[in-house]
Structure 1
Amino acid sequence: MATIDIDPQYSGVIYNGGGGNLVERTVLDNGVRILTEVMPGQKAVSIGFWIGVGSRDEQPSGYGSTHFLEHLLFKGSANYTGWDISEAFDRVGGDVNAATAKESTCYHARVINTNLAMAVDILTDMVTAPLLESEQMDTERGVILEELAVDSDDPAYVVHESLAEQVLLGHPLGRSIGGTPEVINSISREDMVSHYNRWYRPEQLVITAAGGLDHKELVQTVSAALSRSGWMSPESNLIQTPAPRRDHHAEFPVMNTERLTLTRPVEQTAVMVGGRGLNTVDPRRFAMTVMNVILGGGMTSRLFQEIRERRGLAYSTYSFAASYSDLGYFGMYAGCHPAKADEVIEVMSTELDTLAQKGVTADELERAHGQIAGNVVLGLENTEARMSRLGRAELVTGQYT
């Protein structure tokens, strides 16, 4: 299938896969965008309410506020208490959760299609009318501090965050999504309300859904819920066009090329080697995906074979690539005994040099193509993956593939 560009103002069919598989997009009068994919034969529906704000958009005094706000939206809204939200989904065997990323926040649910209207009503109320009460904020502050403590005790998490910080030195994308204990302790309710008012607006909202659904019915359901919330009111003078997508052009920040060692009282050493990568729309990103699979994307990858199978240096080793709207980075990871860390680093560096100088074999290329194709097909068997793909297409790339 070809890549299809999505015009910001377009409403209509984006893709018709035949057999009832249909991808559609509607832009409401207040700028809210709704994208759906019908999956014939599915009774489940996954739906996501995406806000175009992530940790990269925070002010220095509010690092972690986007993630903090995500937690608070589950603590109560105009028409639902925190208990009501949880109980409604538990009662029908559904799931509701949220995720804060560096460039977006998503509140998502998975339900049987007969319960989709309920999910829309609750998610709409959470996003448009959260209470943000001081008492709940103080309670959730403690939860987040414990979450940060758990992360700081995980060597793999620490080196992943440290690599991003060193490669994207001084850039907001290099910061941890959760923030720091110092900043989390200092954030006030006024700060949180200000952050909410700045970003939680109709033009920033994207709603995506996939599964056993009807696009027109969902648009009507969402419109009714937004009208009840006041986000469709003509008297509110709301912006009528969707917020623009992020710029894909940026100058890469200075990168720290020095070796960084962090000491923790743990048995294993977590090793990470990496550098600059590609943004989400760079035409070389497809080659990067193939290279990543060959280097460290499975049991037949070069890192796995050399570090684990031949040398027995580590149990877990892999490579990855992280891409954002304007920047990206890549890395190689292994967890090993402290005495073996230098050898692991040497192997990683050697594998990169070999890849650059000698390229890949025809067999590796064929195997990588097959692995990627299979992973894509298997991944799209579930409604949540397809819902997320629509969100990424709308907010990040502006392209449906």
Structure 2
Amino acid sequence: MQKSRTTRTVSTVRDSGGAVTSRVRRTVLASGLRIVTEQMAGARSATIGVFVDVGSRDETPKLHGCSHFLEHLLFKGTHERSAFDLSIALDAVGGEINAFTAKEYTCFHARVLDEDLPLAVDVLGDMITSSVITDDDVEAEREVILDEIAMHDDDPDDVVHNLFAEQAFGATSPLGRPIAGTVESITALDRATIQRFYRRHYRPERMVVAVAGNLDHTTVVRQVERAFGRSGWLDGEAEPVGPRRLGRRVRVKPGTSEATRPFEQVNVVLGMEGPARDDDRRFALGVLNTALGGGTSSRLFQEIRERRGLAYSVYSFSSHHADAGLVGVSVGCLPAKLDETLAVVRLELSRVAAHGITAEELERGKGQLRGGLVLGLEDSASRMVRLGKAELVHDELLDIDGVIARIDAVTLEEVREVAAEVFTRKEVLAVVGPS
């Protein structure tokens, strides 16, 4: 059991009658492990996520793909449970368990009925703290990951976005490399290397346990202490590792990269450097992104698909890291239509850079963001992700009303300013298609 812990209530939301509809509480254990929960009135499910402060950008070239490799291996068995035991534990109660690796963190998550939350906590605690990484497991999962890499190489959207990131950040930069690794890097990784990576990064002070649904915070904390306290894993004392605060901004390298694949379409991503993750202009950029290419009423969709029939799929996007950001447009079209499609994309970007968006587009963009935010948080899984990322990545949890207020406060001038700055920068272009 932990020597000490600190707990505080982060936020409480009540309905018009005064009843609590949502309460967020946060506990920090002496070991540095953070536990953040959101009690959701009326929910019958609960979702737990374990966020680990390590991702593909933390890898040296020799470790390329190690975070993702390790994510796979933690499902292969522990001292208490075999891989099959882990598989059937939540299947038997109708639950779901999975994981994903990102550039800056890894997340293991499970969704269950509220009554089965203790089981989900125990299974994830067992996996995270007590996995047995054997040589046989490494060799078996190596083949699975090589198959996964081949699958991504057959997906035009994956190929073009990986090529875009490589051009933007460089092939030697962790931000420019694919998360899953390459055939060469995965083939070279051995058990000892992965085991060292596991022990170095999977520490309490580098983790956040986020849980949302029908729950009691104090009970969840006790369950986490039991589940993660195996083999003395929580015995030490440490301060939690805060969000990444990387000093120098990672600059984007303009240019063009092309790759030949036997696809029917040409897939294109055209973009440029954007704001980093905690830039205050992210709300204005969100409204701009929605108006430009965030839905069927957006400028790019209307101009490229509806009016000209140049492509079936077209959308704009923004991606943010602690010290870097990208904005861009993704589109797939027939090879004969590539030049015209690119010309239209560039024209629309230049128009927005010069004149901003209209008042109607501003209100429509705000409405779309508000609706997407609220509707996306109706289930416990979405709430869990919001909690985990707020604690690990942002060190700030804005309540829903606070986020909506920030969206509503965006002005036409703010959108015009961010458009004029971003869309006049030198472009990064990735093109993938037939020869």
Q: Name the TM-score, length of structure 2 as normaliser.
A: 0.87
Q: In the alignment, is residue 394 of structure 1 matched against residue 385 of structure 2?
A: no
Task: Note the 1:2-401 alignment, pairs <5 A.
Answer: 11-18=7-14, 19-20=19-20, 21-169=22-170, 170-233=172-235, 238-247=236-245, 249-255=247-253, 257-401=254-398
Partner SS for 2:369: helix
Contact 1:160 1:272 in 2 (8 A): yes
Worse overlay, 103-112 or 257-266: 257-266
Seen in structure 2, the aligned counterparts of structure 1 residues 190 and 90 have a Cα distance that, compared at 3 Å, is same
Partner SS for 2:211: strand
Letter of the 2:73 partner, please give it. L
String of CA shifts for 1:30-61, please: whole Å, max 9, x gaps. 11000000100111000001110000001110
Letter of the 1:23 partner, please give it. V
String of CA shifts for 1:204-239, please: whole Å, max 9, x gaps. 111000000000000011112222342123xxxx34
Unaligned runs of 5+ in 2: 399-435
Worse overlay, 219-228 or 165-174: 165-174
Letter of the 1:115 partner, please give it. D
Unaligned runs of 5+ in 1: 1-8
Letter of the 2:143 partner, please give it. G
Contact 2:251 2:324 in 1 (8 A): no
String of CA shifts for 1:179-222, please: whole Å, max 9, x gaps. 10001001000110011011011111110000000000000111
In 2, the alpha carbon distance for the partners of 1:283 and 1:10 equals 30
In 1, the alpha carbon distance for the partners of 2:7 and 2:240 equals 12
In 1, the alpha carbon distance for the partners of 2:154 and 2:237 equals 44
In 2, the alpha carbon distance for the partners of 1:290 and 1:254 equals 23
In 2, the alpha carbon distance for the partners of 1:192 and 1:100 equals 15
Contact 2:6 2:29 in 1 (8 A): no
Contact 1:38 1:214 in 2 (8 A): yes
Contact 1:171 1:253 in 2 (8 A): no
In 1, the alpha carbon distance for the partners of 2:344 and 2:139 equals 47
Contact 1:67 1:178 in 2 (8 A): yes
Report the alpha carbon displacement of residue 163 of structure 1 after superposing the two structures with TM.
1.0
In 2, the alpha carbon distance for the partners of 1:322 and 1:330 equals 6
Seen in structure 2, the aligned counterparts of structure 1 residues 323 and 55 have a Cα distance that, compared at 3 Å, is same
Moved over 3 A (4+): none
In 1, the alpha carbon distance for the partners of 2:252 and 2:51 equals 31
In 2, the alpha carbon distance for the partners of 1:101 and 1:54 equals 6
In 2, the alpha carbon distance for the partners of 1:10 and 1:337 equals 59
In 1, the alpha carbon distance for the partners of 2:292 and 2:6 equals 40
In 1, the alpha carbon distance for the partners of 2:310 and 2:297 equals 16
Partner SS for 2:255: coil
In 1, the alpha carbon distance for the partners of 2:279 and 2:246 equals 9
Worse overlay, 240-249 or 160-169: 240-249
Letter of the 1:253 partner, please give it. R
Contact 2:164 2:257 in 1 (8 A): no
Report the alpha carbon displacement of residue 383 of structure 1 after superposing the two structures with TM.
0.6
Contact 1:250 1:327 in 2 (8 A): no
Report the alpha carbon displacement of residue 10 of structure 1 after superposing the two structures with TM.
6.5
Seen in structure 2, the aligned counterparts of structure 1 residues 313 and 118 have a Cα distance that, compared at 3 Å, is same
In 2, the alpha carbon distance for the partners of 1:266 and 1:340 equals 15
In 2, the alpha carbon distance for the partners of 1:219 and 1:84 equals 24
Report the alpha carbon displacement of residue 293 of structure 1 after superposing the two structures with TM.
0.3
In 2, the alpha carbon distance for the partners of 1:254 and 1:276 equals 6
In 2, the alpha carbon distance for the partners of 1:254 and 1:363 equals 32
In 1, the alpha carbon distance for the partners of 2:314 and 2:297 equals 12
Worse overlay, 207-216 or 321-330: 321-330
Contact 2:242 2:395 in 1 (8 A): no
Seen in structure 2, the aligned counterparts of structure 1 residues 386 and 367 have a Cα distance that, compared at 3 Å, is same
Letter of the 2:98 partner, please give it. N
After superposition, the CA RMSD in angstroms is 1.2
Report the alpha carbon displacement of residue 254 of structure 1 after superposing the two structures with TM.
4.7
Report the alpha carbon displacement of residue 248 of structure 1 after superposing the two structures with TM.
5.1
Report the alpha carbon displacement of residue 139 of structure 1 after superposing the two structures with TM.
0.7
In 2, the alpha carbon distance for the partners of 1:367 and 1:325 equals 29
Worse overlay, 323-332 or 246-255: 246-255
**What residue is the counterpart of 1:6 in the other structure?**
none
Report the alpha carbon displacement of residue 249 of structure 1 after superposing the two structures with TM.
4.0
In 2, the alpha carbon distance for the partners of 1:309 and 1:22 equals 45
Report the alpha carbon displacement of residue 247 of structure 1 after superposing the two structures with TM.
0.5
String of CA shifts for 1:263-291, please: whole Å, max 9, x gaps. 11111100110111111110000011011
**What residue is the counterpart of 1:5 in the other structure?**
none
Letter of the 2:12 partner, please give it. N
